[in-house]
Amino acid sequence: MKAAAYHRTGPPEVLEYLDVPDPVCQSNGLLVRVEAISIEGGDTLNRLGGALTGDPHIVGYQCAGTVIETGGDVDEAMVAVGDRVVCTMATGSHAELVAVTARSVWKVAEGFDLVAAACVPIAFGTASDCLFEFGRLVAGETVLVQAAAGGVGIAAIQLAKRAGATVFGTASSNERLARIAHLGLDQSINYRDVDAADEARRLTDGKGVDLVVDSVGGPTLAGSLRALAYRGRCITVGQAGRDPQPIDVSSLMGGNQSLTGVFLGAELATKRARAMVADLLDDVAAGRLEVVVDRTYPLSEAAAAHAYLESRQAVGRVVLIP
């Protein structure tokens, strides 16, 4: 099969379009013909400096496609050859075929676009956990979504608005903010023009926001903490800013505030998280939530797709098509 893989970590140019051995279907697993690959922020971080699990290493942990083989221990009443599925995995999505466990897939309804389905579990599941499972958001509260034009940000805007929150979102340009305003933004903050934390406080008459969803980290996370109201909660997820720095959390005590880290991967094996993702897929399929795809690339142009995603021009997802 063909795959986008690399022999060493580094910039997007390390990705090559290679012939590699087909993966093997395990007894408790499935072999899936990949038809759409959502490039996640973690994919670019892993390519930049993550562990290599093979030589060459095939990066990527989310895709959608059609089951072409099932293992002997798989209950075909649950998933069978010919079913359309969206999958999560540790590595390997940037390829024409993936071998996954049966418990790491969700069926995709007939008529539901596989490109859209490929973008749902990680981004929407992460946003949901940040807002509700760990962020404890309730109606009437204010939410600041950092990197609002990214995959997690776009999902968080919609979910927070649907829950009855007032939603502020940050992005690097007015154009990017305008393209996501219809999703439920009450206030748009161009962080190149104003300090996002100061602006969030101004918009709340100095009180600050009840909840921040921060997928950037680094200096942005320090600003997120400054934006918190009394008893406010900040959720940190991912490290899209690639600029880690120590955070002084002593300031949280005076305001009885909290900082929580979220990693959806640790939750996906639970019944709760699997049911949550299934519900989110149903919502997107029914049009109650929207996936935004900025552009698609052929798998052979994975290096260009990664470079575009890292340029911070994209609004929503960048998808590879084998």
What pLDDT does residue 250 have?
Answer: 87
Q: What is the CA radius of gyration of the chain?
A: 20
Question: Is the pLDDT confidence value at 83 over 80?
Answer: yes
Per the CB < 8 A criterion, the answer to whether 257 and 233 are in contact is yes
Based on the fold, state whether residues 171 and 257 are members of the same structural domain: yes
Asked whether residue 275 is domain-assigned, the answer is: no
Mean pLDDT of 60-84: 95
pLDDT at 242 over 70: no
Domain annotation covers residue 271: no
In this structure, the answer to whether residues 176 and 41 fall within a common structural domain is no
Q: Give the type of residue at 153.
A: G
CATH number of the structural domain spanning residue 9: 3.90.180.10
Is residue 67 predicted with pLDDT exceeding 90?
A: yes
Of 170, 233, 234, 222, the closest CA to residue 196 belongs to: 170
pLDDT score, position 76: 87
Average pLDDT of 220-227? 95
Taking residues 106-111, report their average pLDDT: 95
| DSSP-derived secondary structure letter, 40 | P
Confidence of residue 86 (pLDDT cuts 50, 70, 90): very high
Q: Are 184 and 300 within one domain?
A: no
- The identity of residue 307, as a single letter, is A
- Checking if the pLDDT of 35 tops 70, the result is yes
Q: How many domains is the chain partitioned into structurally?
A: 2
- Same domain for 50 and 130, yes or no, is no
Q: Which of 206-210, 247-251, 258-262, 307-311 has the lowest mean pLDDT?
A: 247-251
Residue 116 token pair: 């859209």
Residue 89 domain-assigned? yes
Instruction: Determine contact, residues 32/67, Cβ cutoff 8 Å.
Output: yes
- The reply to whether 174 and 139 lie within a common domain is yes
Query: Is pLDDT of 256 > 90?
Result: yes
- Between 238 and 109, the more confident residue is 109
Q: What percent of the chain has pLDDT over 90?
A: 93
Q: How would you class 136 by CB atoms within 10 Å of its CB: exposed for 0-12, middle for 13-18, buried for 19 or more?
A: middle
CB atoms within 10 A of CB 133: 17
What percentage of the chain exceeds 70 in pLDDT?
98
Q: At a CB cut-off of 8 Å and minimum separation 6, what does 118 contact? A: 35, 36, 37, 38, 62, 63, 64, 86, 319
**Whether the predicted pLDDT of 198 surpasses 70:** yes
Residue 94 covered by a domain: yes
* In a domain? residue 205: yes
Tell whether 71 and 99 lie within a shared domain.
yes
Tell me, yes or no, whether 90 and 134 share the same domain. no
* Residues 115 and 141 placed together within one structural domain of the fold: no
Q: Looking at the structure, tell me whether residues 132 and 101 fall in a common domain.
A: no
Residue 13: inside a domain: yes
Together in a domain, 140 and 251 = yes
In-domain check, residue 21: yes
Contact 239, 152 (CB under 8 A): no
Position 74 confidence tier, pLDDT thresholds 50, 70, 90:
very high
Question: What is the per-residue pLDDT across 145-166, written as a single tens digit (0 to 9) for each?
Answer: 999 999 999 999 999 999 999 9
**Per-residue pLDDT, 241:** 60
Region 104-132 average pLDDT: 97
In-domain check, residue 178? yes
Distance of CA 283 to the CA centre of its chain: 17
Res 56 pLDDT > 90: yes
Residue 31 sits in the same domain as residue 107: yes
Range 54-64 average pLDDT: 97
Domain that includes residue 311, residue range: 2-119+291-321
Would the pLDDT of 111 be above 70? Answer: yes
Q: Are residues 141 and 242 in the same domain?
A: yes
Phi/psi region, residue 92 (left: phi>0; alpha: psi -120 to 50; beta: rest), is: left
Average pLDDT, the chain: 96
Question: CATH no. for residue 171?
Answer: 3.40.50.720
The predicted-structure confidence for 262-320, as pLDDT tens digits, reads as follows: 999 999 989 999 999 999 999 999 999 999 999 999 999 999 999 999 998 999 999 99
